[in-house]
Structure 1
Amino acid sequence: MKNIRIGIGGWNFPEWRNGVFYPDDLPQRRELEFASRALTSIEINATYYGSQKPESFQKWHDETPDDFVFAVKASRFATNRKIMAEAGESVGRFLNSGISRLGSKLGPINWQLAETKKFDPDDFAGFLKLLPATLDGLTLRHAVEARHDSFAADDAIALCRQHGVALIRSGDSKFPEIDANTADFAYLRIMGTTDQPQGYSDADLDRWADQAKEIAKDRDLYLYVISGQKIRNPAAAQALIERIK
């Protein structure tokens, strides 16, 4: 079985404190240190909203275990635009913002599209051509989170496969669940946690764990518990990690 990485989005969430996920006496400055040892990956989402300092990426690298991996959400300024093929400057600015400071801990980059962005073959092909295979000696893994039904099309899947870009699968959400094998890795975001102790029922946790193991027969998998009843997401991620051991 290939590698399976399971985690959450971000780590600074006040509702996770006071014994919910973080111990009562844990200083906030050590939350990443704790989370990176309880989980196997985290999706950095602050990068979507604004640029982070290179020193921040270095700090995150240094605070986490050697085998830990981050996914990084790309800047919205590169994806939330009418013509994505013209995003070259924004793509370059994001890629050169310091993410390579994560070194071997840099996992996939999530290029999340707006819900209103429809599939346009020429525009999408032009955007995919902007995504480089390497950065500062690191091999990059790119993933596109398409949130419009029009991307559930053979042409969109074929373009991603041509460029080795993963189409992110959105589970338990209002977004289209596009389940397509287009790269040497898979990226899954599940968004249906509820106010249960582990976010999901035992049956649903078993179902997602089984699917994770099936996917990982031939591809690395990055799975993040996102949105939903956010306070329960760390518990759900930990429960899934236990099930795939």
Structure 2
Amino acid sequence: MATRTKPRIRIGIGGWTYAPWRGVFYPQDLTQKRELEYASRQLTTIEINGTFYGLQKPESYMKWHDETPDDFVFSLKAPRYATNRRVLAEAGDSIERFFASGLTHLKQKLGPINWQFATTKQFDAEDFEAFLALLPTKLDGHTLRHAVEVRHESFRDATFVALAHKYGVAIVLAGDSEYPQIANLTAPFVYARIMGTTDKQAQGYAKKALDDWTERARQLAAGAVPHDLQSVEVRTAAKKGAHDVYLYIISGFKERNPAAAKAMIERLA
């Protein structure tokens, strides 16, 4: 990936196929096979969920690349077979199969990889470091960006944050959710997933909440952790300088997530 001197804030959603979005986000007369084409011109990134459940074909990655604008970026949820296991150090084969499945067909549109862990997975420093050591830093000339989405309170630990910093892996920032929030900057980019949309707001969030998240995204892009986000106290200094930000609006009242994403993109403009 080319190195940026100016950070880019990208806002998107998880997936693009969801029946209730028809007639709300998607025009009623839009054919289903054109949904990605449409969504990628309204948003600036999408997190692909299908990769979490099974390996995708190279042809799928080629198709996704060709249907989206040149400056669009996908993030991918890594396969559950690598993260939903008792011993993470034994995930090597699953990780290798994933990276051999055709990801590079996304070319410059290949963004971060989100390694999501079960809510019951607890922090084990030795085993987690062994897992991080398995993650490749390059793939056919592409510099890979990894994020770990940990969802057990035991990860609110300075040792965990130090490990993420050591390997240059981002800790997924959980917003408006029941999951532990760890806003430490441990990588050259930020990966956030916010989950507070409701059916009571036309844009999913109230205007102030949209303003607040937009301002947080700006601060994170500048390399600063907003004062109203929770971090773990550590001795290791945060990654300094500009950070690309990938922010996804997921869960919550899913019907409103595209509207919330579009509202934030408008504010950033």
Do these two structures clear the TM 0.5 threshold for a shared fold by scoring above it? Answer: yes
Give unmatched runs, 5+ long, in structure 2.
Answer: 1-5, 223-241
Sequence identity, in percent? 61
- Equivalent of 1:65 in 46, 64, 69: 69
- Equivalent of 2:265 in 233, 241, 244: 241
What amino acid does structure 2 have at the position aligned with 1:177?
Q
The answer to whether the aligner puts 1:231 opposite 2:255 as a matched pair is: yes
Deviation larger for 226-235 or 90-99: 90-99
Q: Matched residues in 2 for 1:115 and 1:45: separation?
A: 17
User: Residue 244 of structure 1: CA displacement?
Assistant: 1.2
Give unmatched runs, 5+ long, in structure 1.
Answer: none
Q: Matched residues in 1 for 2:44 and 2:148: separation?
A: 21
What amino acid does structure 2 have at the position aligned with 1:146?
V
| Alignment match, 1:206 | 211
User: Residue 57 of structure 1: CA displacement?
Assistant: 0.5
Q: Matched residues in 2 for 1:170 and 1:131: separation?
A: 22
User: Residue 25 of structure 1: CA displacement?
Assistant: 1.1
- 1:175-186 to structure 2, matched below 5 A, reads 175-186=179-190
Q: Matched residues in 2 for 1:181 and 1:30: separation?
A: 37
- 1:10-49 to structure 2, matched below 5 A, reads 10-18=15-23, 20-49=24-53
- Equivalent of 1:172 in 173, 176, 183: 176
| Alignment match, 1:143 | 147
- Please report the TM-score for the alignment, with normalisation by the length of structure 2: 0.90
What amino acid does structure 2 have at the position aligned with 1:89?
D
What amino acid does structure 2 have at the position aligned with 1:244?
L
1:11-40 per-residue CA deviation (whole Å, 9 max, x = no partner) reads: 00000002x000111110000000000000
| Alignment match, 2:112 | 108
RMSD, matched Cα: 0.7
User: Residue 118 of structure 1: CA displacement?
Assistant: 0.5
User: Residue 97 of structure 1: CA displacement?
Assistant: 1.1
User: Residue 166 of structure 1: CA displacement?
Assistant: 0.2
| Alignment match, 2:196 | 192
| Alignment match, 2:229 | none
Q: Matched residues in 2 for 1:232 and 1:96: separation?
A: 35
- Equivalent of 1:153 in 151, 157, 171: 157
